[in-house]
Structure 1
């Protein structure tokens, strides 16, 4: 597989390969099947935990490929379920106890509390709490002390990253870092990265072919390096329909369309 892999696709989930509202991926199925016919790999890259990603990966018939989880803090290996070693997470929680108070993480909440905070179902909240590599949460302390907390976290070798809502602490690693690491496993094939949000920008910029998937429910992503040279493109359709649009365009550009169309 390593020597002949024609393409390795890295994809965000929510709002990209999954519909923003329905969480369905049916519109992307033709493109997923086309990638399978050409022998390309598809690596999911998401903020979700391994417990959340494993059933989605199985539903997409992508168990043969690794997945990037917890925004790049860890990897779900091929063929494995959602459970795994939480040693890194326990180290993060231990470091947190020595930091100035004010941060409330998922580990401080029950599944019911996470469900209330996120709008997830209780079952989904339990999967979101099954963390291995990072701790998201909210700063509940004095706003003027947040910078001091972040500096203390950095001094304890914790990386702090502010997302759209949550401040997430980890031992480091981004989606882009993991993309490069996984691509090296497979002999550094041509890479495609697709996403719809700022936390996907590094991954999109680091791929050979980047795609910004239209998200009408959020402000447009800023112009990225590579767009003027058409190395990074934007879809006109949102979610999985836009995802499929981009994949078929890239297969055409790479001369793989005939092979992708074979066998139906």
Structure 2
């Protein structure tokens, strides 16, 4: 198989999946068009490999790799699992080295457990169980103020732990971004032009590294700051939110590319 005309990298929550219902139904027209053109669709999310496998099956893109846990790991389509065993236990140990007065203000998925994840996210109990099966990163809620957060992040930084702000959660890991993984995956397909779609700060590197970047409108969070690529027309914003905006943006680009 030759190099495809395009490769698509997409965030999930608030982008391809509706922020409230987690449905991708409004994007079905564009998804079907991508499938007909045999354009690889790469899911890139803070979700776990266990979660993304289920979403891939529902969408019909399970033949492709995926970026999991905010770029800290990859999902191998050959095995249906993450590409390594991860460093989750080591990560939890590092988080617990932080001063208890500051550590107590962070409530991660491990602290919440499946029932707490249901309450924090609105996921079903089964989906929350999959979200708890982490290998590389720890999302959570930080309840302290800006100064406390700065102290928390400084302490983690000394332990080699990095933080990423997503749509809802602060995600901790030993590093890796969606953009890093995008390079790896695209090279495996012959480096076709890249389209990236996202709505949150943890998508910025991916949007900036793509040939075509799309910021999906997110009425549930603060707007991303203006990015350098917008002035050059390399990055644009949708008027419609979530999968509605995703559908429109993908179809518009396919039309522009005469696909």
Structure 1 position 229, deviation (Å): 1.9
Match of 1:210 among 207, 213, 228: 213
Match of 1:170 in 2: 173
The yes-or-no answer on 1:120 pairing with 2:100 is no
Change (3 A) 1:21 1:164: closer
Q: In 1, are the aligned partners of 2:7 and 2:195 still within 8 Å (CA)?
A: yes
Match of 1:57 in 2: 56
Q: In 2, are the aligned partners of 1:68 and 1:175 still within 8 Å (CA)?
A: yes
The yes-or-no answer on 1:13 pairing with 2:12 is yes
Structure 1 position 10, deviation (Å): 0.3
Match of 1:129 in 2: 132
Match of 1:88 in 2: 87
The yes-or-no answer on 1:156 pairing with 2:185 is no
Query: For the pair shown, which has the larger CA radius of gyration, 1 or 2?
Result: 1
Q: What pairs up with 1:68-83 in 2 under 5 angstroms?
A: 68-81=67-80
Tell me how far apart the structure 1 counterparts of residues 226 and 143 of structure 2 sit (CA, whole Å): 33
Moved more, 68-77 or 131-140: 131-140
Tell me how far apart the structure 1 counterparts of residues 237 and 142 of structure 2 sit (CA, whole Å): 34
1:60-110: CA deviations, max 9, x gaps?
A: 110111111111111111144357854411221232343332244222333
Question: Structure 1 regions of 5+ residues with no counterpart?
Answer: 257-264
Tell me how far apart the structure 1 counterparts of residues 37 and 219 of structure 2 sit (CA, whole Å): 31
Structure 1 position 134, deviation (Å): 0.3
Structure 1 position 139, deviation (Å): 4.3
Tell me how far apart the structure 2 counterparts of residues 176 and 13 of structure 1 sit (CA, whole Å): 15
Moved more, 219-228 or 75-84: 75-84
Match of 2:194 in 1: 191
Scaled by the length of structure 2, the TM-score of the pair is 0.88
Moved more, 136-145 or 86-95: 136-145
1:202-224: CA deviations, max 9, x gaps?
A: 21111000111222333333221
Moved more, 41-50 or 219-228: 219-228
Question: Structure 2 regions of 5+ residues with no counterpart?
Answer: none
Q: Helix, strand or coil for the counterpart of 1:223?
A: coil
Q: Helix, strand or coil for the counterpart of 2:60?
A: coil
Change (3 A) 1:141 1:196: closer
Match of 2:245 in 1: 242
Structure 1 position 240, deviation (Å): 1.7
Change (3 A) 1:144 1:231: closer
Q: In 1, are the aligned partners of 2:108 and 2:141 still within 8 Å (CA)?
A: yes
Scaled by the length of structure 1, the TM-score of the pair is 0.86
Structure 1 position 235, deviation (Å): 2.0
Change (3 A) 1:180 1:87: closer
Change (3 A) 1:97 1:236: closer
**Superposition RMSD on alpha carbons, in Å?**
2.3
Tell me how far apart the structure 1 counterparts of residues 251 and 133 of structure 2 sit (CA, whole Å): 35
Q: Helix, strand or coil for the counterpart of 1:156?
A: coil
The yes-or-no answer on 1:29 pairing with 2:28 is yes
Match of 1:109 among 107, 112, 121: 112
